[in-house]
């Protein structure tokens, strides 16, 4: 089955710097890759996603890139702010049928220091 | 409209007791998922429903865990003869039609087995 590895497990940056979180997946049939942000004690919330027919997607300060050949995808946050501090999870899915459930990485705890 | 809701928000039980956790998905969402999140850990997939059927039960950790969904809406996750290692936050999510679409999470049920 699918396996998703996420690095780093913790990341500390200064406010205004960029943060990059990387994930690799094992199932070449995976075609949907969402990123979730989970603040302390809150539910995970989707921040951005990408499908395998696209190499990059951007939404304001957040961007995701996908390399299907290498089977890895990354989250980029620019001009980080203290409110970006949270745990970020990547996930992968085949996107259909009984094998469409999300397989999550173990998360990255991002701390943005003012 | 209303988001995914779960009840109870917190549950404390004694080892060996049975517990039932409830999930109300977003109205009209046919796909429903259960995940488990242990303290400081990632999200572990448990089971996926499409309508009332469960095409993927592969994540259920033991036969003490079961889930059902009736009327294509509310789902109940039941844990029989609870063990201390069952202590975790149980998260429910729903998506519009099928796997591979955006999943919206509920606030979770925090289960503590004493």
**pLDDT digits over A63-85, tens only?**
999 999 999 999 999 999 999 99
For residue A95, name the pLDDT band (cuts at 50, 70, 90): low
Q: Could B33 and A101 be called an inter-chain contact, meaning their C-beta atoms sit closer than 8 Å?
A: yes
Cα distance between residue B95 and residue B12, in whole Å: 29
Q: Search chain B and give the residue with CA nearest A109.
A: B40
Closest Cβ opposite residue B105 in set A43, A97, A106 = A43
The answer to whether residue A21 neighbours chain B at the CB level (below 8 Å) is no
Over 90: is that where the pLDDT of A41 sits? no
Residues of chain B found within 8 Å of residue A104, distances taken between Cβ atoms:
35, 42-45
Q: How far is B14 from chain A (nearest CA, A)?
A: 23
Over 80: is that where the pLDDT of A100 sits? no
DSSP chain A: ---EEEE-SEEEEETTS-EEEEEEES-TT--EEEEEEE-TTS--EEEEEEETT-SEEEETTEEEEEETTTTEEEEEE-S--GGG-EEEEEEEB--SGGG-S-EE---EEEEEE-
The answer to whether residue A103 neighbours chain B at the CB level (below 8 Å) is yes
The answer to whether residue A46 neighbours chain B at the CB level (below 8 Å) is yes
Residues of chain A found within 8 Å of residue B33, distances taken between Cβ atoms:
101-102
User: What's the pLDDT at A52?
Assistant: 83
> Counting one residue from A and one from B, how many pairs have CB atoms under 8 Å apart?
66
Cα distance between residue A85 and residue A13, in whole Å: 10
Per residue in A18-40, pLDDT (tens digit) is 999 999 999 998 988 999 999 99
Q: Could A106 and B42 be called an inter-chain contact, meaning their C-beta atoms sit closer than 8 Å?
A: yes
Q: Could B100 and A95 be called an inter-chain contact, meaning their C-beta atoms sit closer than 8 Å?
A: yes
Over 60: is that where the pLDDT of A99 sits? no
Averaged pLDDT for residues A3-11: 95
User: What's the pLDDT at B1?
Assistant: 55
User: What's the pLDDT at B56?
Assistant: 77
Q: Could B105 and A104 be called an inter-chain contact, meaning their C-beta atoms sit closer than 8 Å?
A: no
User: What's the pLDDT at A10?
Assistant: 97
The answer to whether residue A90 neighbours chain B at the CB level (below 8 Å) is no
User: What's the pLDDT at A96?
Assistant: 58
Closest Cβ opposite residue B98 in set A36, A44, A100 = A100
- Bridge partners, residue A91, by sequence: A104
Percent of chain B with pLDDT over 70: 96
Residues of chain B found within 8 Å of residue A97, distances taken between Cβ atoms:
55, 98-99
Over 70: is that where the pLDDT of B13 sits? yes
Per residue in B45-73, pLDDT (tens digit) is 899 888 888 877 888 999 999 999 988 89
For residue B114, name the pLDDT band (cuts at 50, 70, 90): very high
């Amino acid at each position: 089955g699918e396996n998703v590895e996420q690095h780093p497990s913790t990341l500390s940056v200064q406010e205004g710097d960029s943060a990059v979180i990387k994930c690799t997946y094992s199932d070449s049939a995976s075609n949907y890759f969402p990123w979730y942000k989970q603040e302390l004690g809150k539910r995970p919330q989707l921040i951005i996603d990408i499908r395998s027919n696209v190499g990059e997607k951007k939404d304001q300060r957040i961007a995701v890139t996908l390399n299907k050949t290498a089977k890895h995808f990354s989250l980029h946050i620019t001009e980080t702010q203290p409110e970006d501090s949270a745990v970020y999870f990547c996930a992968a899915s085949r996107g259909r049928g009984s094998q469409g459930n999300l397989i999550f990485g173990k998360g990255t705890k991002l701390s943005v220091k003012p | 409209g209303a988001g995914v809701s779960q009840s109870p928000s917190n549950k404390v039980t004694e080892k060996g007791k049975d517990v039932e956790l409830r999930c109300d998905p977003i109205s009209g969402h046919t796909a429903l998922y259960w995940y488990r999140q242990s303290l400081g850990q990632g999200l572990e997939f448990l089971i996926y429903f499409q309508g009332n059927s469960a095409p993927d039960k592969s994540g259920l950790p033991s036969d003490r865990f079961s889930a059902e969904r009736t009327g294509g809406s509310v789902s109940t996750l039941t844990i029989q003869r609870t063990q201390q290692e069952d202590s975790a936050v149980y998260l429910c999510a729903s998506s519009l039609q099928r796997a591979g679409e955006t999943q919206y999470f509920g606030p979770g049920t925090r289960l503590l087995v004493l």
